[in-house]
Amino acid sequence: MSSRFYFGGSDSGSDIDENDAALPFPKPLDRSAFLAPDFDATAFLSGLSNRFQTLEDLQTELRELSQTLNKELVDLVNDNYQDFLSLGSTLSGGEDKMEEIRLGLLGFQRDVQAVRDKVDARRYEIAELLDQKKALKRETGVGRSLLEITERLDLLEEKLKMARGRSSRSEKADIQENETQRWGEEWLESTTNESADEYEVDETGGLSAKLRRRIEEYLIVKHLSSRHSPRHPFILTQESRLRKIQEVLLSDLEAAIKREPVVKMKQQMLQIRAAIEG
Protein backbone atom coordinates (compact mmCIF):
# COMPACT_ATOMS: atom_id res chain seq x y z
CA MET A 1 0.00 0.00 0.00
CA SER A 2 1.46 3.32 -1.01
CA SER A 3 1.78 5.87 1.73
CA ARG A 4 0.52 9.32 0.99
CA PHE A 5 0.95 12.28 3.28
CA TYR A 6 -0.69 15.60 3.84
CA PHE A 7 1.63 18.55 4.48
CA GLY A 8 0.31 21.34 6.59
CA GLY A 9 0.87 24.89 5.33
CA SER A 10 3.51 27.00 7.05
CA ASP A 11 2.66 30.30 8.66
CA SER A 12 5.30 33.00 8.38
CA GLY A 13 4.00 34.59 11.57
CA SER A 14 4.32 31.39 13.63
CA ASP A 15 6.91 30.70 16.29
CA ILE A 16 8.20 27.54 14.51
CA ASP A 17 11.82 27.65 13.63
CA GLU A 18 12.51 28.08 9.92
CA ASN A 19 14.82 25.02 9.92
CA ASP A 20 11.96 22.72 10.99
CA ALA A 21 10.15 21.46 7.94
CA ALA A 22 6.43 20.91 8.07
CA LEU A 23 5.71 17.33 9.41
CA PRO A 24 3.71 14.95 7.14
CA PHE A 25 0.34 13.68 8.40
CA PRO A 26 -0.88 10.17 7.37
CA LYS A 27 -3.90 9.89 5.14
CA PRO A 28 -7.06 8.50 6.86
CA LEU A 29 -7.57 4.77 6.50
CA ASP A 30 -9.51 3.75 3.42
CA ARG A 31 -12.67 1.71 4.15
CA SER A 32 -12.34 -0.23 0.92
CA ALA A 33 -9.20 -1.91 2.27
CA PHE A 34 -11.35 -3.80 4.78
CA LEU A 35 -13.80 -5.06 2.14
CA ALA A 36 -11.34 -7.29 0.29
CA PRO A 37 -12.39 -11.01 0.37
CA ASP A 38 -8.84 -12.04 1.24
CA PHE A 39 -8.35 -9.36 3.88
CA ASP A 40 -5.49 -10.21 6.24
CA ALA A 41 -4.93 -8.11 9.34
CA THR A 42 -1.21 -8.96 9.52
CA ALA A 43 -0.58 -7.97 5.92
CA PHE A 44 -2.65 -4.82 6.39
CA LEU A 45 -0.62 -3.71 9.41
CA SER A 46 2.65 -4.56 7.66
CA GLY A 47 1.72 -2.20 4.83
CA LEU A 48 1.41 0.66 7.31
CA SER A 49 5.10 0.57 8.27
CA ASN A 50 5.89 3.75 6.29
CA ARG A 51 3.24 5.81 8.04
CA PHE A 52 4.57 8.43 10.41
CA GLN A 53 2.13 7.37 13.09
CA THR A 54 2.50 5.80 16.50
CA LEU A 55 0.74 2.57 17.48
CA GLU A 56 -1.47 4.44 19.93
CA ASP A 57 -2.59 6.84 17.20
CA LEU A 58 -3.35 3.90 14.89
CA GLN A 59 -5.45 2.23 17.61
CA THR A 60 -7.32 5.47 18.20
CA GLU A 61 -8.02 5.87 14.48
CA LEU A 62 -9.29 2.28 14.16
CA ARG A 63 -11.50 2.72 17.21
CA GLU A 64 -12.98 5.93 15.80
CA LEU A 65 -13.59 4.20 12.47
CA SER A 66 -15.41 1.34 14.24
CA GLN A 67 -17.58 3.79 16.16
CA THR A 68 -18.39 5.64 12.95
CA LEU A 69 -19.47 2.42 11.23
CA ASN A 70 -21.68 1.44 14.18
CA LYS A 71 -23.33 4.86 14.13
CA GLU A 72 -23.96 4.62 10.40
CA LEU A 73 -25.50 1.16 10.86
CA VAL A 74 -27.85 2.44 13.57
CA ASP A 75 -28.83 5.39 11.40
CA LEU A 76 -29.50 3.04 8.49
CA VAL A 77 -31.83 0.89 10.59
CA ASN A 78 -33.64 3.92 11.99
CA ASP A 79 -34.10 5.46 8.56
CA ASN A 80 -35.56 2.25 7.13
CA TYR A 81 -37.41 1.05 10.23
CA GLN A 82 -40.82 1.03 8.59
CA ASP A 83 -39.47 -0.94 5.65
CA PHE A 84 -38.11 -3.59 8.03
CA LEU A 85 -41.48 -3.86 9.75
CA SER A 86 -43.39 -4.21 6.49
CA LEU A 87 -40.95 -6.80 5.12
CA GLY A 88 -42.82 -9.73 6.71
CA SER A 89 -46.22 -8.61 5.47
CA THR A 90 -44.99 -8.17 1.91
CA LEU A 91 -44.10 -11.87 1.64
CA SER A 92 -46.99 -13.66 -0.07
CA GLY A 93 -47.70 -17.39 0.34
CA GLY A 94 -45.29 -17.85 3.23
CA GLU A 95 -48.00 -18.85 5.70
CA ASP A 96 -49.17 -21.74 3.52
CA LYS A 97 -45.64 -23.07 3.12
CA MET A 98 -45.02 -22.83 6.83
CA GLU A 99 -48.27 -24.69 7.55
CA GLU A 100 -47.31 -27.47 5.15
CA ILE A 101 -43.92 -27.80 6.82
CA ARG A 102 -45.54 -27.82 10.27
CA LEU A 103 -48.01 -30.55 9.29
CA GLY A 104 -45.22 -32.60 7.74
CA LEU A 105 -43.15 -32.32 10.90
CA LEU A 106 -46.12 -33.36 13.04
CA GLY A 107 -46.71 -36.42 10.87
CA PHE A 108 -43.05 -37.34 11.02
CA GLN A 109 -43.09 -36.92 14.80
CA ARG A 110 -46.07 -39.28 15.10
CA ASP A 111 -44.33 -41.88 12.93
CA VAL A 112 -41.17 -41.67 15.01
CA GLN A 113 -43.18 -42.02 18.22
CA ALA A 114 -44.98 -45.08 16.84
CA VAL A 115 -41.67 -46.74 15.96
CA ARG A 116 -40.29 -45.84 19.38
CA ASP A 117 -43.33 -47.39 21.09
CA LYS A 118 -42.86 -50.61 19.12
CA VAL A 119 -39.18 -50.74 20.03
CA ASP A 120 -39.98 -50.17 23.72
CA ALA A 121 -42.66 -52.87 23.70
CA ARG A 122 -40.27 -55.30 22.02
CA ARG A 123 -37.55 -54.46 24.52
CA TYR A 124 -39.88 -55.11 27.45
CA GLU A 125 -40.98 -58.39 25.88
CA ILE A 126 -37.39 -59.52 25.40
CA ALA A 127 -36.56 -58.54 28.99
CA GLU A 128 -39.46 -60.66 30.28
CA LEU A 129 -38.37 -63.61 28.14
CA LEU A 130 -34.82 -63.31 29.42
CA ASP A 131 -36.10 -63.27 33.00
CA GLN A 132 -38.16 -66.38 32.30
CA LYS A 133 -35.13 -68.05 30.76
CA LYS A 134 -33.04 -67.26 33.83
CA ALA A 135 -35.78 -68.59 36.11
CA LEU A 136 -36.05 -71.81 34.08
CA LYS A 137 -32.27 -72.17 34.17
CA ARG A 138 -32.29 -71.83 37.96
CA GLU A 139 -35.13 -74.32 38.29
CA THR A 140 -33.31 -76.73 35.98
CA GLY A 141 -30.21 -76.45 38.14
CA VAL A 142 -32.25 -77.13 41.26
CA GLY A 143 -33.91 -80.13 39.61
CA ARG A 144 -30.57 -81.59 38.54
CA SER A 145 -29.18 -81.10 42.03
CA LEU A 146 -32.19 -82.83 43.61
CA LEU A 147 -31.94 -85.64 41.07
CA GLU A 148 -28.27 -86.09 41.97
CA ILE A 149 -29.21 -86.34 45.65
CA THR A 150 -31.78 -89.03 44.83
CA GLU A 151 -29.33 -91.03 42.75
CA ARG A 152 -26.65 -90.84 45.43
CA LEU A 153 -29.13 -91.89 48.12
CA ASP A 154 -30.28 -94.85 46.03
CA LEU A 155 -26.71 -95.93 45.41
CA LEU A 156 -25.73 -95.51 49.06
CA GLU A 157 -28.75 -97.49 50.27
CA GLU A 158 -27.92 -100.20 47.80
CA LYS A 159 -24.35 -100.39 49.02
CA LEU A 160 -25.51 -100.48 52.65
CA LYS A 161 -28.01 -103.25 51.81
CA MET A 162 -30.93 -101.13 53.01
CA ALA A 163 -34.40 -102.16 51.73
CA ARG A 164 -36.43 -99.14 50.57
CA GLY A 165 -39.73 -100.96 50.07
CA ARG A 166 -40.45 -99.21 46.76
CA SER A 167 -40.53 -102.22 44.46
CA SER A 168 -43.82 -102.92 42.78
CA ARG A 169 -45.53 -106.28 42.96
CA SER A 170 -44.33 -107.27 39.52
CA GLU A 171 -40.75 -106.44 40.44
CA LYS A 172 -41.06 -108.48 43.65
CA ALA A 173 -42.44 -111.42 41.70
CA ASP A 174 -39.55 -111.31 39.25
CA ILE A 175 -37.07 -111.14 42.10
CA GLN A 176 -38.62 -114.10 43.90
CA GLU A 177 -38.74 -116.12 40.69
CA ASN A 178 -35.06 -115.68 39.92
CA GLU A 179 -33.86 -115.54 43.50
CA THR A 180 -33.39 -119.28 43.86
CA GLN A 181 -31.33 -119.59 40.67
CA ARG A 182 -29.03 -116.66 41.32
CA TRP A 183 -28.68 -116.88 45.08
CA GLY A 184 -25.68 -119.15 45.09
CA GLU A 185 -23.65 -117.15 42.57
CA GLU A 186 -24.55 -113.75 44.07
CA TRP A 187 -23.79 -114.87 47.59
CA LEU A 188 -20.44 -116.27 46.54
CA GLU A 189 -19.51 -113.15 44.56
CA SER A 190 -20.64 -110.69 47.26
CA THR A 191 -18.87 -112.62 49.96
CA THR A 192 -15.65 -112.73 47.96
CA ASN A 193 -15.68 -109.03 46.93
CA GLU A 194 -17.07 -107.33 50.03
CA SER A 195 -15.37 -109.33 52.72
CA ALA A 196 -12.00 -108.05 51.61
CA ASP A 197 -13.19 -104.42 51.70
CA GLU A 198 -15.03 -104.84 54.95
CA TYR A 199 -12.04 -106.10 56.86
CA GLU A 200 -9.37 -104.12 55.02
CA VAL A 201 -8.25 -101.49 57.52
CA ASP A 202 -6.95 -98.09 56.44
CA GLU A 203 -3.52 -97.68 57.97
CA THR A 204 -3.89 -93.90 58.32
CA GLY A 205 -7.43 -93.67 59.70
CA GLY A 206 -8.14 -96.95 61.46
CA LEU A 207 -11.28 -97.48 59.35
CA SER A 208 -11.97 -100.05 56.69
CA ALA A 209 -11.83 -98.69 53.16
CA LYS A 210 -15.43 -99.72 52.60
CA LEU A 211 -16.75 -97.86 55.66
CA ARG A 212 -14.66 -94.80 54.84
CA ARG A 213 -16.11 -94.64 51.32
CA ARG A 214 -19.67 -94.96 52.64
CA ILE A 215 -19.07 -92.14 55.12
CA GLU A 216 -17.63 -89.91 52.39
CA GLU A 217 -20.62 -90.60 50.16
CA TYR A 218 -23.00 -89.77 53.00
CA LEU A 219 -21.21 -86.48 53.72
CA ILE A 220 -21.40 -85.58 50.02
CA VAL A 221 -25.17 -86.16 50.03
CA LYS A 222 -25.46 -84.12 53.20
CA HIS A 223 -23.50 -81.27 51.64
CA LEU A 224 -25.66 -81.31 48.51
CA SER A 225 -28.80 -81.21 50.64
CA SER A 226 -27.50 -78.22 52.59
CA ARG A 227 -27.51 -76.15 49.39
CA HIS A 228 -31.30 -76.13 49.45
CA SER A 229 -33.75 -74.81 51.98
CA PRO A 230 -34.45 -77.25 54.83
CA ARG A 231 -38.16 -76.51 54.24
CA HIS A 232 -38.01 -77.69 50.64
CA PRO A 233 -40.60 -80.48 50.13
CA PHE A 234 -38.06 -82.80 48.54
CA ILE A 235 -35.52 -82.31 51.34
CA LEU A 236 -38.22 -82.95 53.94
CA THR A 237 -39.15 -86.16 52.14
CA GLN A 238 -35.56 -87.43 52.17
CA GLU A 239 -34.96 -86.75 55.87
CA SER A 240 -36.08 -90.23 56.92
CA ARG A 241 -33.75 -91.88 54.41
CA LEU A 242 -30.81 -89.75 55.52
CA ARG A 243 -31.56 -90.51 59.15
CA LYS A 244 -31.59 -94.29 58.53
CA ILE A 245 -28.31 -94.11 56.62
CA GLN A 246 -26.85 -92.03 59.42
CA GLU A 247 -27.88 -94.61 62.02
CA VAL A 248 -26.29 -97.45 60.05
CA LEU A 249 -23.04 -95.56 59.56
CA LEU A 250 -22.89 -94.50 63.22
CA SER A 251 -23.47 -98.08 64.30
CA ASP A 252 -20.62 -99.35 62.11
CA LEU A 253 -18.39 -96.48 63.18
CA GLU A 254 -19.11 -97.10 66.87
CA ALA A 255 -18.10 -100.73 66.46
CA ALA A 256 -14.88 -99.66 64.74
CA ILE A 257 -14.12 -97.22 67.57
CA LYS A 258 -14.50 -99.95 70.16
CA ARG A 259 -12.15 -102.23 68.22
CA GLU A 260 -9.48 -99.55 67.73
CA PRO A 261 -6.68 -99.83 70.33
CA VAL A 262 -4.75 -96.70 69.31
CA VAL A 263 -5.91 -93.53 71.08
CA LYS A 264 -4.94 -91.22 68.21
CA MET A 265 -6.98 -93.27 65.76
CA LYS A 266 -9.93 -93.21 68.14
CA GLN A 267 -9.77 -89.41 68.26
CA GLN A 268 -9.87 -89.25 64.48
CA MET A 269 -12.86 -91.59 64.45
CA LEU A 270 -14.62 -89.42 67.02
CA GLN A 271 -14.10 -86.41 64.76
CA ILE A 272 -15.61 -88.36 61.87
CA ARG A 273 -18.58 -89.30 64.06
CA ALA A 274 -19.08 -85.62 64.95
CA ALA A 275 -19.13 -84.78 61.22
CA ILE A 276 -21.79 -87.44 60.62
CA GLU A 277 -23.94 -86.26 63.52
CA GLY A 278 -23.53 -82.57 62.66
**Beta bridge partner(s), residue 208:** 201
Q: 206: burial class by Cβ within 10 Å (0-12, 13-18, 19+)?
A: buried
28-37, 67-76, 184-193: which range is least confident on average? 184-193
User: How far is 224 from 247, CA to CA, in rounded Å?
Assistant: 19
Collapsing DSSP states into helix, strand and coil, what is residue 241?
helix
Answer for the pair 209, 202: CB distance below 8 angstroms, yes or no.
Answer: yes
**What is the per-residue pLDDT across 149-208, written as a single tens digit (0 to 9) for each?**
989 999 988 888 875 544 433 444 344 344 434 433 443 344 334 444 443 444 444 688
- Of the candidate ranges 66-75, 162-171, 210-219, the one whose mean pLDDT is the lowest: 162-171
Distance of CA 71 to the CA centre of its chain: 62
Give the residue-averaged pLDDT of 91-118.
86
Evaluated on CA atoms 197, 199, 200, 201, the torsion sign reads positive
In this prediction, residue 137 carries a pLDDT of 92
Angle between helices 94-159 and 209-226 (to 10 degrees): 150
Where do the structural domains in the chain lie, given as residue ranges?
Answer: 26-81, 117-167+203-277
Q: pTM above the 0.85 mark?
A: no
pLDDT for 118 equals: 94
pLDDT of residue 176: 39
